[in-house]
Amino acid sequence: MTQCNLTEWRVTMPKLFMILVFASAAIAAGEYSADTPNGPQPYQAPPPVCSNSDQVPDDEGYTSPVIYNNERPPEGPETWERDWGEDILIHATHVGSNQDIALDEDTGDLYAIFDTDHSTMDSCIVYRSQDSGYTWTFWRTTYRPSGPMYDPMIEVVRDSCGMEWVCMFFRSNNKLWMRRMTPDQGRHFWELICPNDVDDYDIAGEADTAGWVYVTYVPAGTKDVRVARNALSGDGWVDDHALFTNTEIDPYPAISCATGGLVSVVFSDARMTCNTEIRHRKSTDYGFSFSPSEQITNNTSGAELTWTDMAYTHNSSMSAAGWIFTTFELSGSDNLSYYYTIDTVNWTYGGTMPDTGNENMPSIYAKKSGNSVTLAYNSTPGDSTLCSWTTGSNPTDWPTPIRINDYPSTGYWPSAAAFNGSFPTVLYTSYSEDYNCFLDWLNNSSPAADKTSMFILDGVSVTISPNPFTDFTSILVTTLQSGNLSLKIYDIAGRLIDIPVNRFVEGGAHSTGWTAGENLSPGVYFCVLTHGGKQYTQRMVLVR
């Protein structure tokens, strides 16, 4: 080797070494990998705009509303058997593309959002219920003067200072937006998430005081999955980058989080495997960085995997349980299958929901103050909305799903699972009722309906009559088996009010009366029956 070549080698080698060091660090950080071969492609959203205007920013002009000519093909059968419940109409408005619901677990308030179906002057409308879903009042609207708005979603999140925000999301003017307000509407901001149109997106809100809101989305015309986060502190949407590029199919991304910094994104992919599979990327630092993707499913059938959703119970990132539901589209039928984890690391196949037709479009919702989850999904699209529920301590113990809808539900978009404070709750849109949206929940007994409420499950029935009641009501319990039985009355805040029964009983019917004390305020109370190692809850309404 000549002196010149030796000198050049001595100069070049340290540079090559440093390049290798930086490249190794980049690969370790997940910046350049099989998930994102071209790098993370970061984007910085603009800062928030403080505005109390209901008009979408940067949308000029005004056009009077023109009702869009509904060209949807007919859905479902011509006749429909009424369900046991009395579904609650949120508002008589023709929903355009989606409905969503969120629970403020500090106050018990429910927020329902839906978009109108116009060709111009579209609106996203929010209604609020402060009595567990029985009555609804107008809360806020957002409108676009010159064109349609799509796919509204909603979350209630507490920031790091303890202030609560109602976060409204929607697609408008070929952009993805978040509009957030305090519940009293005293503070309000517009925040642009993506400056271009998106084909699909999903949101999640942090359960503790970290204050983060997360979004995953697919830019229009791509098969890329991106993620961004917002601390609700005025800095806008940050750390927006690609999680996975070119899935080769519609990825149907879903995002979920738990306390302690756990954030997960799941999506369909056909690039890295022969068949379509569900892949998962996880963060344990509030979405700042994500581990490389892992394959969750084992799709040996070669089915298309669509309409995926996921949820974590919100106890902590180290002990949270989680579920991933996805639709296996097979020839002639759709099957809804799920995977679960009890340690946030290892995912196990849980099975397929009972076959009642074509099961698809899952929506799963976890309570932020505990480990209960609600599942809702469509069965034979255009007909039934089914509901089930479980807890993180029994992740596979799903009761037989029950149909909750009084009216045929649409098959064009999913229903929205939630809790109304204590009970599994579902918001859905009915095609037979001019695409109005309705709410129902387990143990729903509307004051306008029958004066007797009954709950039957696992061979145990609880009948409360009258309900609502003014002072005295009778509680009839029928059991198939002997055993210890207790009845406890709680108020809506979870405080124990009375224990009318606590003794051993034989199988059969047992009746007891309960008188509400004069010091009890009118409102919602809960009768909790414990028998055979299980609990059954029935709602009671005291009116005076």
- Please report which confidence band the pLDDT of residue 28 belongs to, taking 50, 70 and 90 as the band edges: very low
List, as one string, the DSSP characters of 269-319.
E-SSSSS-EEEEEEESSTTS--PPPEE----TT--EEEEEEEEE-SS-TTT
Q: What is the mean pLDDT of residues 172-176?
A: 86
| Of the candidates 311, 314, 307, the residue with the CA atom closest to the CA atom of residue 336 | 307
List, in sequence order, every residue forming a beta bridge with 528; answer none if it has no partner. 488, 537
Q: What's the pLDDT at 272? A: 94
Where exactly are the structural domains of the chain? 49-68+93-441, 453-542
Architecture of domain 453-542: Sandwich (2.60)
CATH number given to 49-68+93-441: 2.120.10.10
pLDDT higher than threshold 80 for residue 27: no
**139-164 burial code (b ≥16 CB/10 A, e <16):** bbebbbbebbbbbbbbbbbbbeeeeb
**The predicted structure's pLDDT at residue 118:** 60
**What is the pLDDT at residue 132?**
87
Residue 187's pLDDT band, with cuts at 50, 70 and 90, is: very high
Once rounded to an integer, what is the mean pLDDT over residues 22-32?
Answer: 45
pLDDT in tens, 443-478: 775 544 344 444 444 557 788 888 888 889 999 887
24 contacts: CB under 8 Å, gap ≥ 6: none
Chain-wide mean pLDDT for the chain?
83
The per-residue pLDDT for 315 is: 66
Distance CA 357, CA 411 (A): 13
Averaged pLDDT for residues 478-485: 81
pLDDT value for 182: 96
pLDDT the model gives residue 317: 57
276 falls in which pLDDT band (50, 70, 90)?
A: very high
Q: Is the pLDDT of residue 390 over 60?
A: yes
pLDDT computed for residue 291 by the predictor? 95
- Tokens 């440093």 belong to residue: 18
| Alpha carbon of residue 201 to chain centroid | 12
The answer to whether the 49-68+93-441 and 453-542 domains have the same CATH topology is no
Q: What percent of the chain has pLDDT over 70?
A: 83
DSSP label of 185: S
